[in-house]
Structure 1
Amino acid sequence: MTAPEPGEQSHIDEERRLATLDALALLDTDPEQEFDAIVALAAQVLNAPTALLTLIDRDRQWIKAAKGFEAREIPRTIAFCDHTIRGAVPVIVGDTTQDARFAQNPLVTQENGMRFYAGAPIHAVDSEGVRQPIGAICVLDHTPRSLRSDDRKALTHLATLAEASITARSAAQEALTIATIADRQAAILWRQDRIFRQAERMAAIGSWRMSLADHDVEWSDGVYRIHGLPVGRRPSMEDAMDFYPPHARVQVNDAVTRAIEQGTAFELEVDFLTAQGELRRVRVLGERETIDGVAVALVGVFQDVTERHALETQLRLSADTDSLTGLANRAAFERVLEAAMDRSRTDGVPLLLALVDLDGFKTINDTLGHTAGDDVLRGVGRSLRAPWLNGSVAARLGGDEFAVIVDDPDLAANPARLVALIEASLCVPVEADGLLLVSAGTVGIAAFDGDFHSIRDFVHHADTILYAAKRARIGERRRPERLDAA
């Protein structure tokens, strides 16, 4: 291990930390979908080629999940995340070659080495209720860079999400073990039941059992609680399935049938409606219980993961959305445009790309201030989400530049009319200190041609049309309600 840098903790109880990590049984395990999803989300949200979920063992860094990184473990002496676990806040290294801790690290000095690192510590609670740092969620890049404040917050949220997943995994495994062997350990049932009830409350989880002989269903208190039902009457299998929307009901039915007929364990995450009609997200695990070689029941656990699911959804949305206008950002725009081009090539559907450049935006910023400029951008965002655009995808590409992907046949049939409608919608009035200005915009619209081999070709063609339209306006006398082009 390297010596701690200033600001890093040096008083970690290493033996208790390692004992906490060992108790989780995460080291040297196979990949798990939940952790792979968190790492993929980290790479997407923070726009990084490499993302890792790491666990710091005594002499090594074990990589539980990775995107863009092949090794499963590296020596602890060169592990960036070993520094991260010593502090309570994310570690951000904009250029590793300029940081004494990493400049001579072989991960940095090798060809195409890592030049940027950002990591947030992951904790687990030990047997005495003390949070111990066990690893980190991190992103790396081969070029120096920085993180915005929102990205730092997202990294911290991802660490929280990883901690919640580790806690839920541990509780679910313990609860499932208890549910499977409870009837064989009657002598210690009261002690196990106490532990199980604590786990249920902590992890919003419960256990269930369905007899294969008569399909009689048993629920623990936690399952009743998630369903919004009082503890008491045992539900039938049909009653239990009624809590799922139709699309989720099919998934659960198929999984239960395979488990009964083939002995295939299952793990699903699906939509769910409580007895009060509240839409929730639940995780359902089940496997076949066998006694003396005979299958007698299905047993499993049931968990409310609504908050975690909402956080994942929010992070994915923020990764694709421009926060000021509510439109798609450039990364999302390129994905949607590429898919639309593929559909147009395959199916021959019409496709237009409209590029928008605001006229006089600099004048508004200089005259009325950036707050007024932001009001204009928000107004343009509302205009480009208007119902008349029939599901067209609008995006802010940066600054005062926007784009609209149009695949509606009625709109695409008359490009000139579409240009006029979009330009009319860009007239956004803004006022400050009694002074009123009205924004305007120029639109360049291009139809997709099969000869366009890339997004760049399509955008370049539309860009050429846009700036031809702007040049045509030079010297034009504008109407009083519109501004001269900046």
Structure 2
Amino acid sequence: MATLNALALLDTEPEREFDALVALAAEMLDCPSAMMTLIDRDRLWIKAANDGERGEIARDVTMCNVTIQGSAPLVVEDLSGDSRFAANPLVAASDGVRFYAGAPIHAIADDGRRHPIGALCVLDTHPRSLNAAGRKALVHLATLAEAAIAARTAAMQALAIAVTADRQSSVLARQDRIFRQAERMAAIGSWRVLWPDGLLEWSDGVFRIHELPLGAQPDPSKAIDHYPPHAREQIAQALTDVIRTGVPIDLELDFTTALGNPRRVRVQGELEHAAQRNVDGPVAIVGIFQDVTERHALELTLRRTAETDALTGLANRAAFDRALDAAITRARAAATPLLLALVDLDGFKAINDTLGHNAGDDVLRGVGQILQAPWLRGSLAARLGGDEFAVIVDDPALVGAPEEIVSRLQEALQVPVSVDGLAMISAGTVGIAALETDCQTVRDFVHRVDIVLYRAKRERIGERRRAA
């Protein structure tokens, strides 16, 4: 409990890092509910949930209480069939929880030991399974939660020291030593700017992140050059807002060091003294500057994993649904045409059964390459399931020639496959249709193209019979 209490996480307001994390967990593991929970002495408190619901539950009836007792993820495919949970009121209710998967979240105490403080979990009201990749992803997500908690703690400590250092001169030397240690451990630094004079002060940690020699006088006009143009505008607006309204600065931005190395940084700041907003003259703003490159890279990796079909490298079904919904919105707003093509492989099951699954996997990978050919001009291709694929086409040079798209794709999909002297032909049928006014949703549009695909398959079957 001491480790959890020291983090000052319990009963706090929502924070975007943790809200984004549970949203990613629900999306990545395809579950309707995801939570980040903290285990207090007698209760479980929900720090973040993808549906926005927060609150507390008695600790002894929660699955997360069991999760933190082990080091590996706890996965229960059907809670009603597990003697530990079957009588649990959260499970026994008519709309109760049936599936649970959670991984423990740890924090490091002052003695350097890791202690479980809660769990990152996903839930469903229907029984389901979680494969090895899903379990691994759950562990990665819990690790990301731990990193976010550690970064939050370091940022709070650093900001508190930066704001109060000049008020506590009697302990300034001790605070400075502590702060320098925190800077080195957390890739963090402090800054202070006198506005509008532009006098800028950096701690050693900020120089290190910039990959600049320690101790030089920072030049505000050059410091801004480390950011891309759109980020410079965000910084300028944030400085204006904190001076006018006192709203703290909290930005996460792309950044390039003096040596040309790309980084991701988080910039936080606030007025040195809140009363300064009511005083004419210069205003001092103090804050922290943190290198969050590793955490950002892990988030991007997890998101790519959540959106990509591992075998073909194409977008997966969830990513396709989001992309098509966005494409429909853009097409409606701009009154531009939009095509959707669905691809169904012909005889794929026979190839799998006759030549083996390795040959089938090779066929699927080949289809992935075909659907990403340069001539498709950046159209988004996705694998919807086993041998079903889709292509969203919005390029002006392509949308006017749907028949040509079908012809070129069906020709490219006609590929010989052979294993140990056995040879077969892999082929595909393509159905394509344009977005019409009666297609109000992604489901409507896909259904429309499904009908076209079904007709195309029947026609091809008829052609083969006549040829025989």
Residue from 87, 101, 116 that aligns with 1:118: 101
Post-superposition Cα deviations, 1:362-388, rounded to whole Å, max 9, x if no partner, equal 232233321121111111111101121
Could you say which residue in structure 2 is the equivalent of 1:43? 26
Task: State the SS of the aligned residue for 2:198.
Answer: coil
1:262 aligns with 2:245: yes
Q: Tell me what 2:204 maps to.
A: 221
In the alignment, does 2:385 pair up with 1:394?
A: no
Paired residue type of 2:308 = T
Tell which deviates more after alignment, 440-449 or 248-257: 440-449
The residue matched to 2:311 in structure 1 has which SS?
coil
CA distance in 2, matches of 1:190, 1:228: 26
1:273-312 correspondence runs (5 A): 273-290=256-273, 296-312=283-299
Return the offset for 1:51.
1.1
Between 329-338 and 151-160, the greater mean CA deviation after superposition: 329-338
Asked whether 1:130 is paired with 2:113, we answer: yes
1:95 paired to 2:78: yes
| CA distance in 2: counterparts of 1:342 and 1:189, whole angstroms | 56
State the distance in 1 between where 2:78 and 2:52 align: 19
Alpha-carbon distance between aligned partners in 2 of 1:404 and 1:310, rounded to the nearest angstrom? 28
Structure 2 counterparts to residues 197-276 of structure 1, below 5 A: 197-212=180-195, 214-276=197-259
1:411 maps to 2:398: yes
Question: Contact 2:266/2:290 (CA < 8 Å) preserved in 1?
Answer: yes
* CA distance in 2: counterparts of 1:363 and 1:291, whole angstroms: 73
- For 1:8, the equivalent position in structure 2 comes to none
How many residues of Structure 1 are paired with residues of Structure 2 in the alignment?
463
**SS of the residue 1:159 aligns to:** helix
- After TM superposition, the structure 1 stretch with the greater mean CA deviation from structure 2, 148-157 or 288-297, is 288-297
The 1:409–1:214 alpha-carbon spacing in structure 2 relative to 1, beyond 3 Å, is closer
Amino acid at match of 2:351: I
Counterpart contact for 2:355–2:419, Cα < 8 Å: yes
CA 1:303/1:429 → structure 2, altered by over 3 Å: closer, same or farther?
farther
CA contact (8 A) 1:357 1:441 kept: yes
How many Å separate the matches in 1 of 2:274 and 2:388? 67
Deviation string 1:155-183 (CA, Å, 9 cap, x unpaired) is 11111111111111111111111111212
Q: Which amino acid aligns with 2:379?
A: S
Match of 1:316 among 303, 319, 325: 303
- Aligned match for 2:446, one of 459, 474, 482: 459
What CA distance in whole angstroms lies between the structure 2 residues aligned with 1:286 and 1:474?
A: 67
Is 1:447 the equivalent of 2:442? Answer: no
Contact 1:280 1:306 in 2 (8 A): yes
Measured after TM superposition, the shift of residue 185 of structure 1 is: 2.4
Are 1:175 and 2:134 matched, yes or no?
A: no
Amino acid at match of 1:99: D
Q: Does 1:383 align with 2:366?
A: no
Q: For the residues of structure 1 that align with 2:43 and 2:274, how far apart are their CA atoms?
A: 41
Counterpart position of 2:322: 335
**Which residue does the alignment assign to 1:372?**
359
Q: Distance in 1 between matches of 2:435 and 2:104?
A: 47
User: Could you list the runs of 5+ residues in structure 2 that have no partner in the other structure?
Assistant: none
Moved more, 97-106 or 449-458: 449-458
Change over 3 Å in CA distance of 1:261–1:88 after alignment to 2: same
Evaluate the alpha carbon distance shift between residue 364 and residue 213 of structure 1 in structure 2; reply closer, same or farther with a 3 A threshold.
closer
Are the counterparts in 1 of residues 48 and 54 from structure 2 also a CA contact under 8 Å?
no
Alignment partner, residue 5 of structure 1: none
- Offset at 1:438? 4.1
Mapped contact 2:246–2:274 kept (Cα < 8 A): no
Deviation at 1:280, TM superposition (A): 0.9
Stretches of structure 1 lacking an aligned partner (at least 5 in a row): 1-17
Distance between the aligned counterparts of 1:224 and 1:363, measured in 2? 63
1:53 maps to 2:53:
no
Is the 8 Å Cα contact of residues 345 and 450 (structure 1) preserved in structure 2? no
Structure 1 length normalisation: TM-score? 0.90
State the TM-score, normalizing by the size of structure 2.
Answer: 0.94
> Structure 2 vs 1, CA of residues 230 and 430 (structure 1 numbering), >3 Å: closer, same or farther?
farther
Contact 2:363 2:426 survives alignment (8 Å): yes
Describe the shift of the 1:202–1:390 C-alpha distance in structure 2 as closer, same or farther (beyond 3 A).
same
Q: Cα deviation per residue 1:301-352 (whole Å; 9 max; x = unaligned)?
A: 0001111111111212222211111111112222222333334444432222
Secondary structure of the residue aligned to 1:450 is coil
CA-based RMSD of the aligned residues comes to: 2.1
2:226 match: secondary structure: coil
Matched residue SS, 1:101:
coil
The 3-state SS of whatever aligns with 1:412 is: coil
Whether 1:80 and 2:63 are equivalent positions in the alignment is yes
Aligned residue in 2 for 1:474: 461
Separation (CA, whole Å) in 2 of partners of 1:425 and 1:203: 52
Deviations 1:383-440 (A, max 9, x none): 1011211222211111111111222233222222211011122133444335554422
Q: Deviations over 1:91-150 (max 9, x none)?
A: 111111111221111111223111111111111111111101111111111111111111
Percent identity of equivalent pairs: 63
User: Are the aligned partners of 2:341 and 2:392 in contact in 1 as well (CA < 8 Å)?
Assistant: yes
The DSSP-based 3-state class of the residue aligned with 1:235 is: coil
Judging changes above 3 Å, is the alpha-carbon distance between structure 1 residues 437 and 276 closer, same or farther for their aligned structure 2 residues? Answer: farther
| Contact in 2 for aligned 1:423/1:443 (Cα 8 Å) | yes
Partner residue, 1:357: 344
